[in-house]
Amino acid sequence: MIKKTIALIPIDNRPVCYDLPKQIVDITDEYELLMPPIEAMGGLVKAADRQKLIEGLKNLPECDYIVLSLDTLVWGGLINSRRSSETFDEILPWLEEIKNILKTKKAKILAFSSVMRISNNNFNEEEKEYWSEWGKKIFDWSYNFHLARACNDNEPERKQNCIMNKIPDEILNDYLSTRERNFKVNKIYLEWLKEGIFDFLVFSKDDCAKYGLNVMEAEELSDEIKKSKLNAAVKTGADEIPLTLMARIFSEKKQTHIFPVYTQPESVDKISKYEDLPVKLSVNSQIELAGCTVAEDIQNAELVLLVNNFKNEQGELVMNVFEEGFKGDFDVFDKPFAIADILNANGADNDFVETLFKKDWKNLVGYAGWNTTGNTLGSVIALSLAYLLSERPNSENHKKVLFTRFCDDWAYQANVRAELKKENSFAPDEKMQPYTDKINKKLNTKIHGSYSFPWNRFFEIEVRLG
């Protein structure tokens, strides 16, 4: 069988952005994945080598698909898109060079770009330096600016003016000029889409709330997409978007109907942290972006998506916000099913996983429970489709991905990370062992994991399989 080739320029060098796409494609029997060398990718403190990436794109062998992170190619990465000091006029020649290269490609191009986020905190690790002092105030000002216009209320405008008076002019002006620059570039991408440069375009809303300048920008982009009937979408999420676009490629082979089942069906209208959509809409949106259909009933579904959602407020394990775990029972199914564990942001639900380990995994094709609801949904759908839609899926590689996700999302994110932070230790091996023993036993594997911290922080871990 001649394999179809997908070329991917990822967001950055994190394992979920760089390693996971390859692990998922390695399950399939119909695709191979081309990516830039990891040394060219950006990280937490360095931008991607854009010149090396552009040369690689220019000299890319003929392929069937290109999945393209525009933030990486244009700014050097998602984080650098918020930090870069380049002006709009300075970036224009670079944009023109990218456009001219893309014009020469015969591949189907699926591109994505972020709507610049507004973090609701004073952590500047992924923002400009001044975010450590002014981040929360900028978020509050932005939130009330939008709210005042959305509800014609004087109170939000009064709050906005009050907050604005506390933020130094040079800080607010720099922030707003960066936003304006990025938004103007996003509107250029819409023009490229109209010209046929892209076959599909996604704008991702990274870490958003119900109101804010980012939401206003997303609404404007969405309005233009609808008005001009463009093959594009505005979606809540970020890191999972390339995986969802790969799932969209897999779905070209066969229409897949996915039936969502919720552990807390009465709470599907609750909104997850870092998102602006109710859980049910977020689930349906991710299914549709992956090129699939939301099934009306379980009988007509090829895949059941079991969503472990939250009853009251989504937990946030990094911020020590805890939601009571799901202690009830739930079904495993007599057809392929996958699990999106979204009770918490940034880690699995221990109570749910404990019950899951007592059940039959015969038809389990996917699991995820990392970061935001969108991150979890996009990755688990891509993983599941890679396995389901392959005529001869690689079962060994499939088990390796399941091992990695349980190892990362459950063992580390929900348990070991807190212990290591408490001890200020980057030595997880001994603490991970009881969990990996349990995972291996359940999967009937003998996989050995070793661990590193690619960004030298506790937030993410790299699981290397031996």
Mean pLDDT, range 87-104, rounded to an integer:
97
pLDDT at 145 over 90: no
Query: Which has the closest alpha carbon to 343: 262, 420, 406?
Result: 262
Strand 462-465 and strand 65-69: the pairing is unpaired
Mean pLDDT, range 39-63, rounded to an integer:
96
Percentage, residues of the chain above pLDDT 70: 98
pLDDT band at 413 (very low <50, low <70, confident <90, very high): very high
Query: Which has the closest alpha carbon to 199: 222, 233, 163?
Result: 233
Contact at 8 Å (CB) between 133 and 229?
no
pLDDT at 163 over 80: no
pLDDT at 91 over 70: yes
Task: Write down the mean pLDDT value for the chain.
Answer: 95
Q: What is the pLDDT of residue 206?
A: 83
End-to-end CA, the chain: 29
Query: Which has the closest alpha carbon to 178: 238, 207, 138, 237?
Result: 138
Helix (H, G, I), strand (E, B) or coil at 304: strand
Interval 383-397: pLDDT, tens: 999 999 999 999 999
Q: What is the pLDDT of residue 2?
A: 85
pLDDT at 20 over 80: yes
**Percent helix / strand / coil, the chain, rounded to 5:** 45, 15, 35
Mean pLDDT, range 253-258, rounded to an integer:
95
Question: Is the pTM higher than 0.85?
Answer: yes
pLDDT at 155 over 80: no
Q: Which position has the token pair 């002019």?
A: 169
List domains and CATH numbers for the chain.
4-130+168-247 (3.40.50), 255-465 (no CATH)
pLDDT at 159 over 80: no
Mean pLDDT, range 301-326, rounded to an integer:
97
Q: What is the pLDDT of residue 186?
A: 98
Mean pLDDT, range 429-449, rounded to an integer:
97
Q: What is the pLDDT of residue 151?
A: 78
Instruction: Give the pair of three-digit tokens for residue 226.
Output: 């609808």
Q: What is the pLDDT of residue 256?
A: 97
Mean pLDDT, range 199-214, rounded to an integer:
91
pLDDT band at 153 (very low <50, low <70, confident <90, very high): low
Mean pLDDT, range 276-290, rounded to an integer:
96
Mean pLDDT, range 275-289, rounded to an integer:
96
